[in-house]
Amino acid sequence: MTSAAVSPATAQHGSHPRKIWMDGHLVDPADAKISVYDHGLLYGDGCFEGLRGYGGRIFKLDSHLRRLEASAGHIRLKIPYSRAELADATKATMEACGMANCYIRMVVTRGVGTLGLHPFKCPRPGVIIVVDTIQLYPHELYKAGMKVIVAKRPRIPVTCLDPSIKSLNYLNNILAKIEAIDADVLEAIMLNTDGDVSECTGDNIFAVKDGRIHTPPTSAGILHGITRQFVIDELAPALGLPVDERRMQLDDLYSADEVFLTGTAAEIIGVSAIGDQTIGIGRMGPITARPSPRVRRRIDLLERNG
């Protein structure tokens, strides 16, 4: 007889049973249920954020909450809680789960409505906060770098769906992710319909060439990544490295000295190869490796001061 796998929803963290925050209440995972009439389920109508907790503190919390609020505003969805209330709810959920180092998923759905598309027949949005762990990529790849591919499927054009909206409909990303899975790699680079480099299925992308860092602009069809902005505004200046936000072609990646990806879940990870093309020295390069101690110090400061 095979042993049953433990569901993340029912697992405990140490002596603490998991709790889910739903619409103002902490509930057991078994009681964390949404209606089959919720438009978040029926149509992917809603938005979300992924955050990181380090030592009980949440990295760039206000930036994430502002982006969530902006995403909701773009789809005319009024979040029924203030940023301060959501911050308090997130911290309370972390404490209830006994998890100081964690991944946090905050979800806002359109709410319960009819089977039709009409979003304004949903009287109240639903809000869910899940605190768990996440490990997108094996630990060893953070030193060795990882291989990625270029997806055949392009990014949805900006004029069709603004990529700054972190919506619950991730099918464009998921279908590109399936291409990566079929190729036995963990991530895929997506191009926009102009053939420019956009982003990966879950990460922003950077290239290093001759001591300069290059990254696609937001107009290329990318999410306004919080970790991406942290690299641009804080890490790169601290390292004395200029950053160029510009249109990029695949050749810019193939000829780069280093390529790395950033994201809340991924943090910062180097790329060793794109398809059959080795990047740089074929493992994490020296510039990609340099932010690691500074990121650690930034996190340590966060843990001490909040």
Q: Which of 85, 138, 79 is nearest to 109 (CA)?
A: 79
Distance CA 3, CA 239 (A): 50
Q: Cα(204)–Cα(201) distance, rounded to whole angstroms? A: 8
Cβ 206 vs Cβ 259: under 8 Å: yes
Place of tokens 């990303």: 173
What's the CA dihedral at 75, 77, 82, 86 to 10 degrees? -80
Which DSSP string corresponds to 115-169? SSS-GGG--S-EEEEEEE----S-TTHHHH-EEEEE-SSPPPPTTTS-TTS-BS-
Distance CA 27, CA 189 (A): 38
Given 91, 147, 166, 177, which residue is catalytic?
166
Is 147 a known active-site residue? Answer: no
Which residues participate in catalysis according to the annotation?
166
